Each structure stands twice: as C-alpha cells, then as structure tokens.
Amino acid sequence: MIAMTIHVLSPDVADKIAAGEVVERPASVVKELIENSLDAGATDLRIEIRGGGKRLLRVIDNGHGIPVAEADLVFRRHATSKLQTADELERISTLGFRGEALAAISAVSKTTLVTRTEEEPVGTELRLEGSEVVGRRAIGTPPGTSLTVEHLFWNTPARLKFLRTEATEAGRISKIITRYALAYPHVRFSYLSEGRISFQSPGSGDRRETLLKVYGPESARQMLAIEVSQDPVAPDISVSGFVSEPSLHRANRSYIELFVNKRLIQDRNLTFAVIQAYHTLLPGGRFPLAAIFIDMDPTQVDVNVHPTKAEVRFREASLVFRAVQRAVHRTLYAQAPIAGLQPEGGASDREDWAARRQVLVQAGRAEDAAAQLAMNLERQEPGNSVQLVGSEASVPAAPPVSRPATDALPPLRPVGQIAAAYLIAEGPTGLYLIDQHAAHERILYEKLVAGREHPIAKQQLLEPLTIELGSRLAGLVAEHLPILQQSGFEIESFGSGSFLLRAVPSVLGRQDPQRLLEEVAEQLVERDDLVGKAMEDELVKIICKRLAIKAGQVLSVVEQRELLRQLEACDNPRTCPHGRPTTLHMSASQLERQFGRT
C-alpha cells in the first residue's frame, strides 16, 4: 500500500461524516490504533499495555509510515489520507475514514508518535500533551509507526472515573485484539500486558491456527468451519468463518462475533440469525460461539452510521440475514458429529435431531450424577460431630409452631429422598422437606464465606492439570484466583492464558475442571456491572451454585444424613444464597389438623 498525501477535509465533506465520541476507554483507543496500522498495510503489530491500558498503551507496526512533512497533520481533526470526496464515502475500503481518531486520542492523553516511511532516511518523533505539541525531533527508527498513549484521560478526570479495574480493561483490550487477529490471519499480532506476552497470533494466514490461539484448544476443537458455497438468492454475499458444534455453548451471546469486510461489527439481527440456525439444538438459555466473516460489495453497506463504526447499515439487510442463517444451518447439518442427519430436512428431521440430542444430554447427566455419587459429600471432621452431639442434646423442646422463632434448624433424622431432588426428614416438631441443591448451596456458601475455619475439602490431582483458557476468560480467572483457591481449587497462573491445577474441590467429583472454570468465568463476564465486594460475593454464589449437588442425583442414606448435619450447622440454614427456601416445615399440629385428628 502506498501512502497517500494527507489533507484536511473540506468542511462540507467533514459535515457528512457522522461525528461522535471515538474514545470511551482504553480498548477503544487500541481499536483505533490497530485499525490505523492495518490500513497502513502492516503485517506485524505489537500491542503493549500497562495498568490495564490506563497508564500506557502502545501499538507498533511495520506499515508504510507517515512522511515527515505530514506527521503534524495526523493529529488535526478531519485529517485523513483515506478519502477526499463525499462520493468515496459510498465505497470505503479502509477501516478508518473520518480522520478523527488521533485528534480525539491526543486531546485526552499524552501521545507520542514515532514514524518513518521506507523512502525517508530518518524518522520523526512527535510528543503531544492534550493536543499540544510539546516535543519534536528527528529519530532513527525502522520503517513503520509506533503510537504511544500514556495517562489516558489525565485531563478529563470525570471520564477516568468511569473506567473499570485494570484487569477488566485489559480483558476488553484483549478481546479487541483477538477478534482482529481472527479477521486478519495474515497479520501477526503480539499482545503484551505488564511486559508479559499474553496473546500472539501466528500470522500464517491460517485462520484455524489463529482460532486455536484465541479460543484455546478445547473449544477450538469443537468449532466447525463454515462451508463456503454460493447462496442462490444472495450470490454476491460470501459468508465464512466458524461456528460451534451444538455440544459447545455459552451462557450469553457475546461469543458471536461478526465481521463485515473484515470490520468487527455489532448487529442484533445477524446475531439472531446465527442463534436461530441452532433452533432446538441448544439447551434453553445457551448460545453458540461463532466468528462470522461476511464479505460483500462495499457499496451495499454503509459504514458511516455509528460514532465508533461499530454498527453498519446494509442496503438489503434481509439478504444478509438469510445468507448468514443459511450458511450456519448448512454447516451444522452437514458437519455436526451426529450420524444419520439429513441436511436442511423438514420438521420431522429436526424433531429427530432434537430427540437424539435429548438422549445424549440425558446420558451426559446420568454420567455426571454417577460420577458425583462416587464422590461422597464432604466428610464431617470428627471434632465437629462431637460438638453436634452436644448441641443435639441441648436442643430445647421446640415450640409447636410451623415457623420456629429462630432461623436455626433442630436436629433432623433423614427419612428418605423423593424425586431424587428432595429429602424428607423428621425433626422434634414435625416433618421437613429439604431441597438438596438449595441446601448444599447454602452449606458451601457458608464454608466459603467463613473461609479458613471450615475450608472446602479438596482433592489432590494425581498429576497437575494444565488448563488453557481463551485470553478473555483467562483475565477474569486470574483476577479472582484467591477466591478460587479458597473454594478448593489449587490453581496458579502460568501466563498466556494457561493455569496449573493441582487440586479441585472434592465435591467436584469427576466433572471437568476446565469446563467448570470456563462456565464460572463466563457468568462473571455477564456481571461485569459489579465491582469489589459485590463482585466477589457474586463469584462465591456462582461457584456454590455450580458445585452444589443437583436435583436428579440419588443420595445414599449416609449422604442424606451428612447433608442434613451440615445444613444444621449453618448460621442461616433456611435459605440458599439467592434467598430461596432450603426447607419446608409441616408441624405435628398441622399434620394432626390436616388429618382431622383434632
């Protein structure tokens, strides 16, 4: 690509360009800088951040650079080399076109530009603080451009306040980088946070290789390549990329990535088109993973409708919808690893598939349940049982009311289990029904909150297990390691999204710890409105919910007794951490009344 001369847009062109806030947070700066590097034809991008990008962000590229004579211009509003006339807005082929980003970024940070073109012998260094040039010199540097943005929002404290923790901001940056790496498999992206490599794409041109780096081996293996074929109705729209097998799904739709002409976009309708192609294949409330690349005639899509260019408008949205939906559907039916499926079959085929899946899902559950059963509930420590005997003896005769005055539970004798979900127990004042899942959630929650005194029992693994998480989830897990450790996971960070696991909570049984950590992190992603203590508490609840025995699990008498003992020992045994009841009580007098004995 050849550097075009840079000029200031005439006001009438500038006015046609939707203005807007470009810089919201460190990740939006990274996005703009990456787009500039890609527009400059770079094949090697190095992104460095410190302090979650709040302290420092740097993008270094090997693109065509900026001529000395034009270096000043790049920071001027509406200065761009990518377009001259309003007509050209109709067929944008570059990621940038408004000439706004560098102006906006330099206005709210301390920015340093170092750049050189192939043709010029020396490069230029320009330093700006809040749009003012404060330093300029000739500098020896390889061809390409480096932009360093330090102390973002130093002069706009109100905006600084809105930023999240360093880990959260770093996670958003990582997401932007990995998505662009997927869109540009020929470009090598290296991402360093706090001086450590946290992501690197191969830059080999092989999208599957990049996928492996972005999603981690476990998930990447379950991604199907979209079969590229011409859609009869929309022959000019090409859809390619990857979608997850029905066995791989997530708790929210944020794993559906869409690119139009290699630009990362958001589009509710197209996201829905992907989800709809999975109709009946996924359990309720679960969503597929997808990276969908739509390539089409640039005159058929308007990229100039959104301040950060995150949304586009299609001239014929329904055609694009259809093309995406068909491509995903075709891929699922042709490749999903379940035998005997007809492509694009009628309702009966679909029912057939749904029925088969149901069987598979149930088989999976039964296996889980069996595995968990093999692991007993956590054993009570001897010291505790002695205490319990004592407290049992000292329990006063409870008053004959259906709701005892205190929250404490009396000693309960297990009678049996019904529906593999509830325990029936007898207490001094009548009958109790206990929801086994809710009760276990409560028990785990109090152990976790109480922390050291009653730690959650853990089981050492025979060999440490390496867990690979995609960079986005890895950041979240790393941020919350202490809580995971308290929960019985002996886990340490290994760098580049890898963790070493030496022990797991005993209640986990034979469940896959990688899957569990992924699920926990995903649910955290959804709650990124929470901060500090609230976030920690949410994490604890998520872990408890996930570790607690499920409905559907048959418990032996020993296990029933153990569960009741531990529930009795809780400070707030009557509700689960989410506030639902764990126990229902029917008093002896209620029973008598109901049976007409009084």
The contact set with ligand ADP (CB under 6 A) reads: 6, 32, 36-37, 40, 61, 63-66, 74, 79-82, 96-103, 145
Residue 145 binding: pick among ligand ADP, Mg ion, none (C-beta 5-8 Å cut-off by kind): ligand ADP
Residues 6+ apart with CB under 8 A from 496: 196, 197, 198, 199, 200, 471
Binding at 106: pick from Mg ion, ligand ADP, none (beta carbon under 5-8 Å per type): none
Does the protein bind Mg ion through residue 146 (CB under 5 A)? Answer: no
* Amino acid at the residue 446: E
Nearer to ligand ADP, 83 or 224 (CB): 83
Which is nearer to ligand ADP, 29 or 182 (by Cβ)? 29
Could you say which of Mg ion, ligand ADP, none residue 166 binds, taking C-beta under 5 to 8 angstroms by partner kind?
Answer: none
H or E stretch covering 413:
strand 413-418
- Which residue's CB is nearer to ligand ADP, number 104 or number 324? 104
All residues at 6 or more sequence positions from 440 whose CB lies less than 8 Å from its CB, including other chains:
377, 507, 548, 549, 563
How far is 402 from 573, CA to CA, in rounded Å?
16
The minimum distance between CB 74 and Mg ion, in angstroms, equals 9
What SS3 string covers 41-105?
CCCEEEEEEEHHHCCEEEEEECCCCCCHHHCCHHHCCCEECCCCCHHHHHHCCCCCCCCCHHHHH
Contacting residue, 34, 57, 71, 101, with Mg ion by CB under 5 A: 101
CB of 177 to ligand ADP, least distance (A): 15
Among 36, 271, 436, 511, binds Mg ion (CB under 5 A): 36
Write down the least CB distance from residue 153 to ligand ADP, Å: 18
Whether 127 contacts 112, CB under 8 Å: yes
Sheet with strand 498-505: strands edge to edge: 458-468, 498-505, 490-495
Backbone angles phi, psi at 15, to 5 degrees: -65, -30
Q: Give the separation between CA 526 and CA 476, rounded to whole angstroms.
A: 11
Q: Work out what residue 257 binds among Mg ion, ligand ADP, none; the CB cut-off runs from 5 to 8 Å by kind.
A: none
Measured distance CA(195)–CA(192) in Å, rounded: 6
Closest approach of ligand ADP to the CB of residue 266, in Å: 19
Of the ranges 99-107, 178-186, 377-385, 386-394, which one interacts with Mg ion (CB under 5 A)?
99-107
How far apart CA 106 and CA 103 sit, in angstroms, is 5
Considering beta carbons, is residue 88 or 537 the nearer one to ligand ADP?
88
Shortest Å distance, C-beta 144 to Mg ion:
16
Stretch touching Mg ion by CB under 5 A, among 90-98, 146-154, 505-513, 564-572: 90-98
Pick the binder of Mg ion from 26, 53, 65, 96 (CB under 5 A).
Answer: 96
Asked if residues 429 and 410 have their Cβ atoms less than 8 Å apart, the reply is yes
Binding site for Mg ion (CB under 5 A): 36, 96, 101
